[in-house]
Structure 1
Amino acid sequence: MNGVVESLKRKEKVEEDLYFAKRDRELLQAMHRQQVRPLAGEPVVIVSGGQTGVDRAALDAAMALGLPVGGWCPKGRCAEDGPIAPQYPLRETPSRDYAERTAWNVRDADATLILYRNALSGGSLLTAKLARRAGRPLLVRDLSEGFDATSAARWLTTNQVRVLNCAGPRESGASGIYAQALEGLKGLFALWAERAKLLS
């Protein structure tokens, strides 16, 4: 039975990787066609796609500190745990395609931070590819090796980031990553917001 389950998981991963590879060029073209629209003129803004796991942790960490949040989510406010709650002020893309909102969040941010564990895959890998090809600053951190909020805040300040896109695995793909990311991001956002105020 375990062998069948593992085989299905491998098959799903291959299909997912093929899908993202196929969409990669199309999404990059769409990013260049769309005009970048900065979010509201706040000192710092955190955006994400609202999915469970790292996306949701970023929004919750920012909101707990009173920082503005935003971002794009799929049409219907889709997430693996049901429609994204209205407390998260995310805008819907025209389609239910997760990859579309991934591209639009990269596009509308000054930089992207990806938190993951062990290996990048799926949507997190696509996010990294899109950020690199669009020439956006990108910071990728493996939480299994710990998270240094001070060095991450320094990176944000050095790159003069005001709108940060946060991404990473959903909770079902990395159990416990929401809590782990939430703790690290609260520390990061507090440091970043304070430095941004001093520089503004």
Structure 2
Amino acid sequence: MPLGIEKIVSGGQTGVDRAALDAASVLGIATGGWIPEGRLSEDGPIPGKYSTLREAATPDYSVRTELNVRDSDCTVVISRGELSSGSLLTFQLAEEYERPVLHLDVGTDQIESAVLEFQQWISSQSCEVLNVAGPRASSDPEIYSLAKSLLVLALADT
């Protein structure tokens, strides 16, 4: 598996979460993760193609965020700019659970440097299950394509 990653997990939300699941699918990496009860997301129920995701016992987004941090070996949070709301919570929970965590602040012109930073960081971790988080599509319409490109490039090069 690329860089020792056997599984990529996320919370199923639009944006970075789904970019991670779709990148894993392209690369043949197993997927999983916790999602809110009722398959809640900002664009309606999380699509059935993400069948490996498990519903938490509550619709509370923060609960699925914590479960994904808890059940993974390390976490990467991908955004453009500073972390806020759920992305910030993910970063803080990773620190609380003493899990390795990396924030990649990436813009269109920074993909190559972010790919290298991610590869260097992940190769220094013992990470079989990678949790990937970041903003939803409504807060950054371009984040899905940036995050998917970053992950595919970073993990395909190994």
Q: Answer whether TM exceeds 0.5 for this pair.
A: yes
Q: What SS does structure 2 have at the residue aligned with 1:172? A: coil
For residue 177 of structure 1, the aligned residue among 143, 148, 155 is: 143
1:43: how far off? 5.3
Q: What SS does structure 1 have at the residue aligned with 2:138? A: helix
Which has the larger Rg? 1
Select between 154-163 and 121-130 the one with higher mean Cα deviation. 154-163
For residue 72 of structure 2, the aligned residue among 95, 109, 117 is: 109
Unaligned runs of 5+ in 1: 1-41, 195-200
Aligned residues: 151
Q: What's the C-alpha RMSD, in Å, of the aligned pairs?
A: 1.4
1:43-62 correspondence runs (5 A): 44-62=6-24
Q: What SS does structure 1 have at the residue aligned with 2:102? A: strand
Q: Does 1:66 align with 2:32?
A: no
Per the alignment, residue 97 of structure 2 pairs with 134
Per the alignment, residue 189 of structure 1 pairs with 155
Select between 112-121 and 150-159 the one with higher mean Cα deviation. 150-159
1:187: how far off? 1.1
Per the alignment, residue 62 of structure 2 pairs with 99
Q: Does 1:81 align with 2:54?
A: no
| Relative contact order higher in (CA < 8 Å, ≥ 6 apart) | 2
1:150: how far off? 2.8
Per the alignment, residue 13 of structure 1 pairs with none
Q: State the identity as a percent.
A: 48
Q: Deviations over 1:115-148 (max 9, x none)?
A: 0111210000100110011110001011137232
Per the alignment, residue 110 of structure 2 pairs with 146
For residue 165 of structure 1, the aligned residue among 128, 131, 135 is: 131
How far apart, CA to CA, are the structure 1 residues paired with 2:94 and 2:54? 20
1:64: how far off? 1.0
Q: Is the 8 A contact 1:62 1:189 kept in 2?
A: no
1:101: how far off? 0.2
